[in-house]
Amino acid sequence: MAIAVQKFGGTSLQTPDGRAKAVEHVKAAVERNAKLVVVVSAIGRNPDPYATDTLLSLIGSATLGREKDLLMSCGETIAGVVLTDVLRTNGINATTLTGAQAGIRTTGDHLQAEIEHVDTTRIRKELGSHDAVVVAGFQGQTTEGEVTTIGRGGSDTTAAALGVALQAEKVEIFTDVNGIMTADPQMVSTAKLLTKLTYSDVCNLANQGAKVIHPRAVEIAMKATIPLYVRSTYDLAGGTLITAPENKGLPDQPIIGITHASGMSQISVRGRGAIQKVRTVMQEEINGAGIPVEVATVKDGNLLLTVSSQHIGNILQRLRERNLQPEIVDHCARIAVIGNGLDDHLLLSRMTTEVSEQGIKVLQAKTSETSIRMVVVADELKRAVTVLHDRFCVSGFARTEVR
């Protein structure tokens, strides 16, 4: 039998209208004779009563990870029962399973568990007597019977893992946007829908801040080459197909999309031996502590590091312990232009010039094979992203322009 996997996010299930649209997608799959596994996230967002962050607000910092996992897993279980009820009301024969009941076996790392194995026996049995099996996402169970959660974006990961284990024909991720866009449409009004992308393209976008789908889900699907679709709950057509590349040739248009992240701070360190000292701190302490450095460059004898502002106190302490006196620029933002073959200093120069000509100061810029990253003052973020997007992403800019 043909099996498909659909995943609905919390905002899709938040209202009666959203749940009605979800039913339409499930019905469409059932009517084409597909057996369906439907993965759900917790309903809504804080302060909605069953959203994950709302549940966490009920407890204090003394609660251990084990109990937090038990609490947080309730959100997806509630969502599963609610959607199953709506499906049955609309004539679809459905049942609900928790992650554990669905055979999702995880590591014992509470709050950040990884899926080790999926035993599909129970799901396949239920599909024998039901058209749809609704599975609570974001959760699983260890071999010792402990409930675990698998981190933010965990329902995407659940859907991909089930798709692979069930050898599904496809996995559809339904959300409140039309698919993956060339930029955040709330920031850039000219953002366009990307109708087809490779797994690696989407991983690059997600790792640099695009929030439509979790990169772990894409990596899981990529290993089994199962097609992924990112679609709008409110539209029966359209969306983005994520699949393997059809060819390995470098396209003339190298830019895929643009992402951004705010809440950044820039650290500047100068002085004899300072650069080597900072690099030692990065290698031995910052990287070892899992603190991500967004952009690291050397300019005019200064070593510049841009990091999330939440880590700034920790990093400053480590630098001052080495007798370094860093200077800080707060309220920064990072922009990442994503594509292929971008390790091109002429292209980097062209982009920084375009931004600078608009009166926007580029605090840092760095290029790699798959991204060009810039740091600007947060107040200039929207203008900078719009300039880069409209000039390099949707205007037909080609690589030959910088040769």
Q: Compute the average pLDDT of residues 42-66.
A: 93
Query: What confidence tier does 210 reach under pLDDT thresholds 50, 70, 90?
Result: confident
Helix (H) or strand (E) holding 37: strand 35-40
Q: In what order do the strands lie in the sheet with 293-299?
A: 293-299, 302-308, 255-270, 327-339, 371-377, 364-367
Q: At what angle do helices 215-224 and 154-165 cross, to 10 degrees?
A: 10
DSSP H or E segment with residue 147: strand 147-149
> Could you tell me the strand order of the sheet in which 104-106 lies?
115-118, 104-106, 139-141, 147-149
CB 374 within 8 A of CB 362: yes
Neighbour-count burial of 248, counting CB atoms closer than 10 A to its CB (0-12 exposed, 13-18 middle, 19+ buried): exposed
SS3 285: helix
Task: Using the predicted structure, report yes or no on whether residue 208 has a pLDDT greater than 70.
Answer: yes
What pLDDT shows up at residue 249? Answer: 46
For 255-402, give the CATH class: alpha beta
Domain ranges of the chain: 3-243, 255-402
**If you ran DSSP here, which 8-state letter would residue 286 be given?**
I
Instruction: Collapse the DSSP code of 48 into the 3-class scheme (helix H, G, I; strand E, B; otherwise coil) and give the result.
Output: coil
Per-residue pLDDT band for 253 (boundaries 50, 70, 90) equals low
- Are the CB atoms for 255 and 339 separated by under 8 Å? yes
Check: CB of residue 224 under 8 Å from CB of residue 164: yes
In this structure, which CATH number among 3.20.20.70, 3.40.50.300, 3.10.310.30, 3.40.1160.10 belongs to the domain 3-243? Answer: 3.40.1160.10
pLDDT at 352: 97
**pLDDT at residue 288 greater than cutoff 80:** no
Taking the C-alpha atoms of residue 320 and residue 317, their distance in angstroms, rounded to an integer, is 5
CA distance 332 to 248: 36
How many angstroms separate the CA atoms of 6 and 171, rounded?
A: 6
| % of the chain residues with pLDDT over 90 | 73
| CB burial string 167-196: b at 16+ within 10 A, e below | ebebbbbbbebbbbbbbbeeebeebebbee
Classify the C-alpha dihedral 338-339-345-350 as positive or negative: negative
Q: What is the pLDDT of residues 158-185, one digit of tens each?
A: 999 999 999 999 999 999 889 999 999 9
What are phi and psi for residue 238, nearest 5 degrees? Answer: 75, -165
Q: Are 360 and 314 in contact (CB under 8 A)?
A: no
Under 8 Å between Cβ of 355 and 382? no
Q: Percent of the chain beyond pLDDT 70?
A: 96
Higher pLDDT, 285 or 77: 77
Alpha-carbon span 147 to 100, nearest angstrom: 8
Residue bearing tokens 């509630």: 78
Integer Cα distance of 201 and 12 in angstroms = 25
Locus of tokens 């991720």: 173
> Which residue type, as a one-letter code, is found at position 332?
C
Q: What is the pLDDT of residues 111-140, one digit of tens each?
A: 999 999 999 999 999 999 999 999 999 999
- Is residue 372 predicted with pLDDT exceeding 70? yes
Give the pairing of strands 170-175 and 3-8: parallel
> Could you tell me if 322 and 284 are in contact, meaning their C-beta atoms sit under 8 angstroms apart?
no
Mean pLDDT of 50-56: 94
In whole numbers, what is the pLDDT of the chain averaged over residues? 91
Highest mean predicted confidence (pLDDT) among 96-100, 242-246, 249-253: 96-100
Contact status, residue 156 vs residue 214, Cβ threshold 8 Å: yes
